[in-house]
Amino acid sequence: MIPVRGLCGARVGVLGLGRSGLSAARALEAGGAEPMLWDDGAAARARAEAEGFASTDLRDDVGRLDLLVVSPGIPHLYPAPNPVIAAAMRAGVPVDNDIGLFFRSLATPEWDRMDRPPRVIAITGSNGKSTTSALVHHLLSHAGRAAQLAGNIGRGALDIDPPGDGGVVVLELSSYQTDLARALTPDVAVFTNLSPDHLDRHGGMGGYFAAKARLFTEGGPDRAVIGVDQVEGRFLAMRLAEAPADDRVIRVSTAPPEGPGWTVSAVEGVLEERRKGRKVSMIDLRGIPGLPGAHNHQNAAHAFAACRALGLGPREIGAGLASFPGLPHRSQLVAEIGGVRFVNDSKATNVDAARQALRAFPRIRWIVGGIEPEGGIAPLADEAGAVAKAYLIGHAAERMAIQIAAVPQEVCGDLATAVARAAEEAEPGDTVLLAPAAKSFDQFTDFEKRGEAFVEAVRALPGRSDR
Task: Provide the annotated binding site for ATP.
Answer: 125-131
Give me the residues paired with residue 463 across strands: none
Length of the chain: 467
**Residue 282 dihedral angles phi and psi, to the nearest 5°:** -155, 140
What is the distance between the alpha carbons of residues 31 and 98, in angstroms, rounded to a whole number? 14
3-class secondary-structure state, position 349? coil
Among the listed residues 152, 212, 157, 176, the one whose alpha carbon sits nearest the alpha carbon of residue 95: 176
Give me the residues paired with residue 253 across strands: 265
Amino acid letter for position 465:
S
> Residue 60: which residues within 8 A CB-CB, separation 6 or more?
none
**Residue 249 dihedral angles phi and psi, to the nearest 5°:** -115, 125
C-alpha 449: how far from chain center: 17
Binding site members: 125-131
| DSSP string over 154-168 | SB-GGGSPPP-TT-E
Q: What's the CA angle centered on 411, arms 406 and 414, to 5 degrees?
A: 140
> Residue 378: which residues within 8 A CB-CB, separation 6 or more?
403, 404
In contact, 302 and 252? CB cutoff 8 Å: yes
Among the listed residues 353, 355, 436, the one whose alpha carbon sits nearest the alpha carbon of residue 390: 436
